[in-house]
Amino acid sequence: MHRIGLVGVGKMGLSHLALVRAHPELDCVAVCDSQAFMLAGVRSQVGVDTYKSFDTMIEEANLDAVIISTPTSSHFNLAKTALENDLSVFVEKPLTLTTAQSRELAELAERKGLANQVGYHNRFIGTFRETARLVEAGAIGRVHHIDGRAFGQVVTKADGGGRTWRAKKTEGGGCLHDYACHVIDLMNFVAGPPDEVVSGRLGQVHSTDVEDSVYALFGYSDGAVGTLETNWSDESYRKMSTSVTIYGTHGKIFADRQECRLYLKPGHSFEKFEDGWNIRYITELQEPVDFYIRGEEYSSQIDAFAAAIGGNPSPQAGTFTTAAQADHIVEEIARLHETGPIVADPTTQAEPAGTKASKGIFRKLKDRV
Amino acid sequence: MTPIDRILFGDNQFFGVNHMSEEKARSQQMRFRDTESIIKVLDNAYDRGIRSFMCTTHDEIGKIADHVAANPDRYEGFKFLPGMPYAHKYNNMVGELGVIDTIKAVAPGGVMEAMVRGAKSAVGRDVGQLMRMLVDAEMARFANVDTPVVFLQNVVADLLLGLGNYQIFADFVQYVNEKYEAEAGFFSMNMPAMVDALESVDITNPIIACNYNKIGFRMSGGIEAYDRKLEEKPVRCVAMSVLASGAIPPAEALEWVCERPLIESIVFGASSDANISSTVSLITEFDSTRASAA
């Protein structure tokens, strides 16, 4: 039985708490949160020891590992303290707000030989796993384009989300850190990380302090191109919808939460898949779990973490190192949004700034001159 | 103990829920954008002999309940078996407002303040009070129709199951019995564990709606564990996701479920009269084959 301390009882924290409590190899012995109300609720309703101070919890609770599900801005200090105290660490995504911090944590965890994992649950969805397997096996030949997308209705009103940390840039809010990082990690999972982020743009639909949409272009070492499009202000989606399309010289694969569609060009049948369209559904692709709350992937990622604490890390689960790769891309997108294009079309520059958008670009270029 | 009908009609198909295809979910959502189109399908189900509608507490269902209440002759014997809370509504609120502000938003006056102040006992008491208020809020729209069973929806039920707070289950059963003269039921994706948890707070022979399908889709612990639990302990089991969102051909799927005599009821969703009619005939046929064999 591994002794777990959980930090942060919000939406994800509650779900992790329930999964850990139900897990045969994990025992949640301590919960830490800054809100007295949540702690009182956990103490009285769940019967777990609670702490207002993270340091006291680590000192007193004799833990093997911590699960950190607090606002992103606090991840670095919490995870670092835990690792320095020889505890394995699971952190909600994204790992931290800077590449430097994420890399520091990755190196520390590696040096100490401690289990380390980030809550990128798409890695545990059967359709995405099948996609990664097919790409790796060469089913669609050489990959030349990877397209990742996510849409959902997180912020749908002008002041929507204004009250949570997700609406505050300084705490790690915004579509880039909350939504796009999932897609970036998924693209890295199925096709490997890109060599460079060519361009990045952040858009606002309703929010004022953070972005509601993210667009980016990636370049891979073998010449492949990646495109990213995410928007968390799209009410047409009932819940977060993430998808990835991989284009190869022999065919293409589209995958979302429900299905994995494989198209193979004539003469390129692969394994049991024939030329033309093949569809495999989540119902046949998903590994069953022992305890389910709201998606097998949330249970599976906790299973993987339990196995990693026990010395059997799953290669597909991802680590602080792979999460740092995602954080680097996130950071680059934000940087490229700020700096804009290096060279602008001279004809655009010469034109009087008509639209708001072109005015913005114009001003940026002028500022730099 | 109210007997539950053998065949229940579900409502996922009306609200863009499909576990296998977003495309299918979208086309269903377009088809059922108005109440009338839903009522038309419900009428088909009623005319095929179905009397029980197992539904969420989606706003649209309130209008259906009003329609049924307004036409008592057309819908004689028609029953609603609501499952609450409607998860997406609260899930989106929690995403937007956070856990505490969501509770503030749904719980009128003072409860939240009492909880924040709360000593240990006060929090426990107020969680019960919050549960009762939420049930009342969700049940308001069913005031004029028959609701013999009121279900606790699976994300909430399984979250509580994982957290290990089984007392709320007992409080829910008691409240639904007393206030609504209805039986309480539980949706769960972890049926065997749920049965044991309920037994630990003296709820025996519980009504549990759970996935039950030939490929073991979303049956935590697997088919054998489910079969074993039904043999071990009395459970009034409502099988759902029998077709595993369409992964199993209907006849094969229904025959497999009908071969399990310990499954009391089967819930299914369909959008066309042809599908409703064929599903009802298949279940009836497999049931009578089993009865004559026995």
pLDDT digits (tens, 9 = 90+) for B268-281: 999 999 999 999 99
Domain made up of B7-86+134-293: CATH architecture: Alpha-Beta Barrel (3.20)
Q: Is B240 helix (H, G, I), strand (E, B) or coil?
A: strand
Smallest CA–CA distance, residue A237 to chain B, in Å, is 9
At residue A353, the pLDDT reads 42
Going from the C-alpha of A203 to that of each of A169, A214, A336, the distances in angstroms are 14, 6, 13
Same domain for A136 and A278, yes or no, is yes
Q: Which residue has the higher pLDDT, B12 or B98?
A: B12
Closest by Cβ to A44, choosing from B94, B123, B219: B123
Residue B143: pLDDT above 90? Answer: yes
Same domain for A93 and A151, yes or no, is no
Residue B99: pLDDT above 90? Answer: no
Closest by Cβ to A44, choosing from B17, B22, B120: B120
Q: Give tens-digit pLDDT for A323-336.
A: 999 999 999 999 99
Q: Which of A75-84, B100-109, B140-149 has the lowest mean pLDDT?
A: B100-109
Instruction: Work out whether the CA dihedral A295, A301, A304, A306 comes out positive or negative.
Output: negative
Q: Return the percentage of chain B with pLDDT > 70, whole number.
A: 85
Asked if the structure places residue A205 within a domain, the reply is: yes
Number of domains present in the structure of chain A? 2
Phi, psi of B169 (to 5 degrees): -60, -45
Task: List the Cα angle B73/B76/B82 in 5-degree steps.
Answer: 125
Residue B100: pLDDT above 90? Answer: no
Q: Give tens-digit pLDDT for A216-235.
A: 999 999 999 999 999 999 98
Smallest CA–CA distance, residue A3 to chain B, in Å, is 16
Q: Which residue has the higher pLDDT, A301 or A40?
A: A301
Q: Give tens-digit pLDDT for B180-227.
A: 999 999 999 999 999 999 999 999 999 999 999 999 999 999 999 999
| Rounded mean pLDDT, A266-272 | 96
At residue A165, the pLDDT reads 79
Q: Give tens-digit pLDDT for A136-157.
A: 999 999 999 999 999 998 888 8
Same domain for A205 and A308, yes or no, is no
At residue B290, the pLDDT reads 86
Same domain for A190 and A163, yes or no, is yes
Residue B63: pLDDT above 50? Answer: yes
Same domain for A181 and A230, yes or no, is yes
Q: Is the distance from CB of A329 to CB of A184 less than 8 angstroms?
A: yes
Binary contact (A19, B247; C-beta < 8 A): no
Going from the C-alpha of B228 to that of each of A258, B225, B232, the distances in angstroms are 30, 5, 6
For residue A368, give every residue at least 6 positions away whose Cβ sits within 8 Å of its Cβ, in sequence order, or none: none
At residue B19, the pLDDT reads 67
Contacts of A35 in chain B (CB under 8 A): 100
Same domain for A204 and A277, yes or no, is yes
Same domain for A9 and A155, yes or no, is no
Residue A20: pLDDT above 70? Answer: yes
Q: How far is it, in rounded angstroms, from Cα A14 to Cα A41?
A: 11
- What residue segments make up the domains of chain B, in order of their start? 7-86+134-293
Residue A342: pLDDT above 70? Answer: no
Residue B18: pLDDT above 90? Answer: no
Q: How far is it, in rounded angstroms, from Cα A319 to Cα B220?
A: 27
Same domain for A266 and A154, yes or no, is yes
Mean pLDDT of all residues belonging to chain A: 91
Binary contact (B123, A46; C-beta < 8 A): no
User: What type of residue sits at position B48?
Assistant: R
Phi, psi of A117 (to 5 degrees): -150, 150
Residue A347: pLDDT above 60? Answer: yes
At residue A163, the pLDDT reads 66
- Residue A357, class by beta-carbon neighbours within 10 Å (0-12 exposed, 13-18 middle, 19+ buried)? exposed
Indicate the pLDDT class of residue A11, thresholds 50, 70 and 90. Answer: confident
Q: Give tens-digit pLDDT for A165-176.
A: 778 888 888 999
Asked if the structure places residue A144 within a domain, the reply is: yes
Closest by Cβ to B165, choosing from A40, A45, A239: A45
Same domain for A96 and A158, yes or no, is no
Q: How far is it, in rounded angstroms, from Cα A133 to Cα A140?
A: 11
What residues of chain B, 17 to 46, have a C-beta less than 8 Å from chain A?
Answer: 17-22, 25
What CATH number is associated with residue A98?
3.40.50.720
Structural domain of A73: 2-122+299-318
At residue B118, the pLDDT reads 47
**ipTM (interface predicted TM):** 0.87
What residues of chain B, 77 to 136, have a C-beta less than 8 Å from chain A?
Answer: 88, 91-92, 94-101, 115-116, 118, 120-121, 123-124, 127
Indicate the pLDDT class of residue B92, thresholds 50, 70 and 90. Answer: low
What residues of chain B, 167 to 206, have a C-beta less than 8 Å from chain A?
Answer: 168, 189-190, 193
Closest by Cβ to A37, choosing from B92, B115, B216: B115
Closest by Cβ to A154, choosing from B95, B162, B165: B95
Q: Which of A13-17, A319-323, B15-19, B172-176 has the lowest mean pLDDT?
A: B15-19
Q: How far is it, in rounded angstroms, from Cα A204 to Cα A160?
A: 13
Residue B62: pLDDT above 50? Answer: yes
At residue B1, the pLDDT reads 75
Q: Give tens-digit pLDDT for A195-217.
A: 999 999 999 999 988 999 999 99
Same domain for A135 and A198, yes or no, is yes
Same domain for A52 and A90, yes or no, is yes
Same domain for A275 and A306, yes or no, is no
What CATH number is associated with residue A156?
3.30.360.10
At residue A238, the pLDDT reads 79
Mean pLDDT of all residues belonging to chain B: 88
